[in-house]
Amino acid sequence: MIRCCTRVLMAMVALVAMRNSFAQVSQENEELRKYKKRFERTENKDAEKVKPKPAEPSRLLQALERPIDPAQYVVGPGDVLEINFWGSGNDDLGFLAIITPEGKLIIPTVGALDVIDKPLAQVQQEVSQAGESKYDPRKISVTAHLTQLRQVRAHVYGEVESPGSYIGTAVDRVSSFIQQAEGWTEWADERRVELRHADGRVDTLDMFELYHEGDLRQDPYIRGGEIIYAPRVEFTDKTVFVEGEAGRPGPHQIVKDESLLHFLFRVEALTRNGELGEVFLIRQGQTPARINLFANGSAAEDAHRILMQHGDRVVVKGSKDFVYVHGAVKNPGNYPYIEGYKVADYLGFAGGTQEAADPGRAKVIHRESGKTEKGMNKEVRRGDTVIVPLATRTTISNYLLIASYIATLLIAARAVGLIGNAP
C-alpha cells in the first residue's frame, strides 16, 4: 500500500516537472518567434535602405557638339552611368554608378565589371549580359546609360604661352587645351603639333588645316594623360623669310608643293596695312618678281602657280593709305589719306603751322609721278608728302644769328690769346 502511494506520488511529481518543462520550452519558443519577427522587421528595414532608388538626373550642364556615339566614346574612370532594372514591379528601380579609378563598374547584386578603355556600346552590352546571368531575362533586364562625362587631364608643352597641365572633359579636343595654354608663341610650328598618347603612339596634327580650313580630323578628342607638344620652327631646308609690312614677319616653315598665295595667307603675311598690289618674291639668282594679287592675268596666276622654295624672301611693301606731313608744322607725322582733301586740310591734321613757317610756299610731292606742286589748294593723293618750309626772313635771321655767335667766339678766342692778331 505504501509502495503504491509512493509510486503514485512520484508519477505526479514527474508529471508536474514535465508540465513545467513543456511550459518553459513553449515560452522559449514564443520568445524565439518574437525575436525572429523583430529580426525580420529589422532585416526588411535594412533591405529598404539598400534597395535601389530611381536615379536623379545630373545637375551638371555639359556643352556637347553632338549626341555621344556609344560606338566611338571610350569610357574611363569618373564617367557616371545610370543603371536601371526593368521588369514587373521594378520599372522605377535605378541608381547612378561611377566608374572607379581602377576602371571598374560596380553593380550591387550583379558584380564588378572591368570596363577600362572599352567603348560605351560594349560596356552596355556587358552590363546586359551580366544581368541575364543573375536574373531571369523574361522578368528583369539591366541597362546602362551614360549620364555624366568624366574630367580628364592633359599636358601642354613646347611653344605655347603657358605650358602646364590642364583639365577638360572627355569630349574636349586638342584645340581646347591649346586655348587654355593661351595659344602659340611666335616660334611655334603649328603644322607639326604632336599628340603623344599614354600607350606610346604619336599623332602629328596640322593645326593650320583646323584653324583656316576647318578640318576637325586635325583636332581629335583627349582621353586623358596625353601630351600635346608644339615644336619650334626649324631652320632646315624648308625655311622662307617674310619681310616688310607683313602680319607675321620673320622665318616660316613651308610644306611640299605650297604655292606663294597659300603661303601668304597661311602665315598671315597679308594685312590691311600692306600694299597687296606690291608683294615681291626674291629668289637667289633671279630678278625680284612683283606679284599683284588682285591683278587679272599672268601676275594673279603666278601667285597660285609659283611654288615656294627654301631661302625665298617675300617682301610686303607698306601701305599708301597715309599722307606724310613734315617741315614747319606743330605735329609732323603720318595721317590717314582721305580722298579729295587738300594741302590745307593736312596742315590742319598736323595742328597748323609754326610761327616761323611760310604757308604760302607749302608744297606736295606726289608719290606716283615724283612731281612737286605748290599751293594750299593742291589735291593730295595716297602716299604723297606735304612739306611746309620756313619763311625767308626767318632763314636770314637765323643766318645772321649764327654769324653773330661765330663773331663773338672769334673775339673771345683772340682775347685769351688762342688766335693771334693780324699783321
* Residue 254 host element (H or E): none
For residue 59, the model assigns a pLDDT of 46
Residues, the chain: 423
- Phi and psi at 403, nearest 5°, equal -60, -40
- Domain 80-148, CATH among 3.40.50.300, 2.30.130.10, 1.10.3720.10, 3.30.1950.10: 3.30.1950.10
Whether the full predicted model's pTM is greater than 0.95, yes or no, is no
The closest of 378, 347, 279, 371 to 319, measured between CA atoms, is 279
* Topology of domain 151-230, CATH: Outer membrane lipoprotein wza fold like (3.10.560)
How do residues 7-43 score in pLDDT, each as one tens digit? 545 555 455 555 555 455 455 445 545 544 554 454 4
For residue 124, the model assigns a pLDDT of 94
Evaluate whether 175 touches 219 at the Cβ level (below 8 Å).
Answer: yes
Evaluate whether 109 touches 134 at the Cβ level (below 8 Å).
Answer: yes
CATH architecture of 322-390: Roll (3.10)
Residue 388, classed as helix, strand or coil, is strand
Domain 239-318's class?
alpha beta
Residue-by-residue DSSP string for 192-241: SEEEE-TTS-EEEE-HHHHHHH--GGGSPBP-SS-EEEEPBPP-STTEEE
260's grid cell: 606663294
Instruction: Write the single-letter amino acid at 384.
Output: D
How do residues 257-302 score in pLDDT, each as one tens digit? 888 888 888 887 776 655 566 688 888 878 788 776 765 555 445 6
Q: Do domains 80-148 and 239-318 have the same CATH topology?
A: no
pLDDT below 70 — which residues of the chain? 1-62, 88-92, 271-278, 292, 294-302, 318-320, 392-423
Alpha carbons 42 and 37: distance in angstroms, whole number: 9
277's grid cell: 598690289
Alpha carbons 133 and 107: distance in angstroms, whole number: 13
Cα dihedral 252, 253, 259, 262, rounded to 10, equals: -60
For residue 256, the model assigns a pLDDT of 82
Alpha carbons 303 and 281: distance in angstroms, whole number: 10
| CA-based R_g, the chain, Å | 46
Strand blocks (E) in 67-116: 80-87, 93-98, 104-107, 111-114
- Name the residue ranges covered by the structural domains of the chain: 80-148, 151-230, 239-318, 322-390, 392-423
